[in-house]
Amino acid sequence: PAALAQANPVPAEGGDPNILNLPSYSKGLGQPVASEGGYGKPSQYEANVQRRPSPGLTQTTQASVSFAPLQSLFGIVTPSGLHFERHHQGWWDMDPAKHRLMLNGSDEKMLKRPMVFTMDEIMRLPSVSRFHFIECGANTGMEWGNVAVPTAQYTHGMLSCSEFTGVPLKILLDMAGADYKRGRYLLAEGADGSSMTRTIPMELVESGEVLVAYGQNGEMLRPQQGYPLRLVVPGVQGVSWVKYLRRIEVGDQPYATKDEAVHYIDLLPGGQHRQYSSTQECKSVVTTPSGGQVLLDKGYYQISGLAWSGRGKVKRVDVSVDGGRNWRTARLQEPVMSKCLTRFTLDWAWDGKPALVQSRAMDETGYVQPSYGQLRAVRGTRSIYHNNAIQTWLVQESGEVKNVQLS
């Protein structure tokens, strides 16, 4: 169904019929407990809030993306049913009792002993639970050259945030007796058809941040997110968070796998590609208001959005409603966590005139999110990955909000 009219007029009949005539649910008996088979679903009125592919973006549906509906989400937790998807060879629902994790070395001396773990064993080891964002390196990739898609879902929706639970990979490597001196690179490998592989720096493992995770938002990972096991690599692009994780190899060289030698490489002006670019730099986006929405009234609005950094905590977010000439500092919603989404908000009274709404995040390293001009001056316009430029939404006089880029 299309949008409803926003109206709360002083009623003609001396009262709003929705108040004066009691609805059926005020006068009847409702549904029983556990009536959805012991696992509840959203309201029927929320059917518009879906993850969606972008038409024409990919040629197949199994090597494809569905985008999280950022424009409709609150706070920082992404409901697991709306978590963005990126598959290279489709998703599977694997029997966890048969799943195994192997640790081996690129050569015989890299590990004291190669090891095999069952899920039972992994879930018995010491675990931690941490909130982190995951962003695909290609998020906002369609927008490098110019505006390509209309809403925050499509511009920024390869982004989600969850509470992950798992075992620090360091614990497993210690058990296997890894040679941390020689073994400065890890290969993570999945059990699906693509057997996705990515090179991971040992530094992140040693920091205790990299998790062999089975839990997401309190329950097990969803099949689309790698059930029963995925690598969690906070701050690093999603492709490295290998799903259906079956193997970790400790090595002394990077692996130049398909998704780090043909894709997820950044084309620079001059024709060189940056390889092994992995960190997701500081970025933000306003989700309310955002492209494809219509503001129906002048007056008060709360500008709201998300900020994040692959290098640590978000320190500050500034918001402009005049296309970047003047900025005000937004409120950051606690808790502000490292390598995690941070929700920001700011009061705004819309005067009904065109407005260019932007947000600009800064992280604890002092790094400031760049404008398109600043980013393109270094990286050109033909990359696909790691576009963290400031997003601009144009609120038109009609109230309609459009995705625009400024010169």
Partner 1 sequence: QPAGYPGIGREATPKEVAAWNIDVRPDFLGLPKGSGTVSRGQDVWESHCAACHGVFGESNEVFSPLIGGVTAEDVKTGHVARLNDKGFPGRTTFMKVSTVSTIWDYVNRAMPWNAPKSLSTDEVYSVVDYLLNLSGIVPDDFVLSDATMAQAQQRMPNRNGMTTDHGLWPGKGMGNGGKPDVKAVACMKDCAGEPKVASFLPDHARNNNGNLAEQQRLVGPQYGVDTTQPPG
Residues within window 161-220 making contact with ligand HEC, judged by CB under 6 A = 194
Determine the 3-state secondary structure of 209 from DSSP.
coil
Confirm or reject binding of residue 136 to Co ion (CB under 5 A): yes
Distances (CA, A) of 280 to 1, 133, 239, 340: 37, 10, 11, 11
Map the footprint of partner 1 across residues 358-377, applying CB under 8 A.
360, 362, 367-371, 374-375, 377
| The dihedral sign for the CA sequence 176, 177, 178, 180 | positive
Residue 39 interacts with, from Co ion, partner 1, a copy of itself, none (CB under 5-8 Å by kind): a copy of itself
Sites for ligand HEC among residues 72-111 (CB under 6 A):
88
**Which are the contacts of 59, defined by CB distance < 8 A and separation ≥ 6?**
none
Q: Tell me which of partner 1, ligand HEC, a copy of itself, none is bound by residue 312, counting a contact when its beta carbon lies within the kind-specific cut-off of 5 to 8 angstroms.
A: none
Which of the residues 194 through 253 are near partner 1 (CB under 8 A)? 194-195, 197, 201-204, 220, 228, 235-236, 246-247, 249, 251, 253
Residue 63 as a binder of ligand HEC (CB under 6 A): the answer is yes
Residues between 343 and 402 that touch Ca ion (CB under 5 A) = none
Residue 144 binds: one of partner 1, Ca ion, a copy of itself, none (C-beta under 5 to 8 A by kind): none
Residue at token pair 């006068």: 27
Nearest CA among 83, 26, 76, 18 for reference residue 49? 83
State in angstroms the smallest separation of the CB of 399 from a copy of itself: 13
Query: For residues 178 and 145, what is the distance between their CA atoms, to the nearest angstrom?
Result: 44
Q: Does 116 bind partner 1 (CB under 8 A)?
A: yes
Q: What residue 79 binds from partner 1, ligand HEC, a copy of itself, none (CB within 5 to 8 A, per partner kind)?
A: a copy of itself
Beta carbon of residue 382, minimum distance to partner 1 (angstroms, whole number): 7
> Least distance to ligand HEC from the beta carbon of 32, Å?
12
What is the per-residue binding string for partner 1 in 40-79, x denoting contact by CB under 8 A?
A: -----xx-xxx-x-xxx--xx--x-----x-xx-------
Degrees, nearest 5: CA angle 163-125-169: 65
Q: DSSP secondary-structure letter at 238?
A: G
User: Residue 371 and residue 383: Cα distance in Å, rounded?
Assistant: 16
Binding mask 251-280 for partner 1 (x = CB under 8 A): x-xxxxxx--xx--xxxx-xxxxxxxxxx-
Site for Co ion, residues 197 to 256, rule: CB under 5 A:
238-239
Query: Looking at beta carbons only, is 136 or 401 nearer to Co ion?
Result: 136
**Distance between CA atoms of residues 55 and 97, nearest Å:** 37
Number of CB atoms found within 10 A of residue 339's CB: 26
Nearer to Ca ion, 118 or 279 (CB): 118
Window contacting ligand HEC (CB under 6 A); options: 31-39, 163-171, 258-266, 297-305 = 258-266
Tokens 């701050």 correspond to 235
Q: Which of 20, 116, 262, 296 binds ligand HEC (CB under 6 A)?
A: 262
Question: Cβ of residue 262: shortest distance to ligand HEC, in angstroms?
Answer: 4
Q: In whole angstroms, what is the distance from residue 190 CA to residue 284 CA?
A: 30
**Ramachandran region of residue 17, left (φ > 0), alpha (ψ -120 to 50) or beta?**
alpha
Distance CA 5, CA 3 (A): 7
273 binds ligand HEC (CB under 6 A): no
The span from the CA of 376 to the CA of 319, in Å, is 21
Does residue 320 sit in helix, strand or coil?
strand
Query: Which one, of 406, 313, 310, lies nearest residue 356 by Cα?
Result: 406
Residue 309 · residue 361 · CB < 8 Å: yes
Partner residues linked to 144 by β-bridges: none
CB 367 to a copy of itself: min, Å: 23
12 binds partner 1 (CB under 8 A): no
Taking CB under 6 A as the criterion, the residue among 182, 184, 258, 316 binding ligand HEC is 258
Interface residues with ligand HEC (CB under 6 A) are 60, 63, 88, 194, 258, 262-263
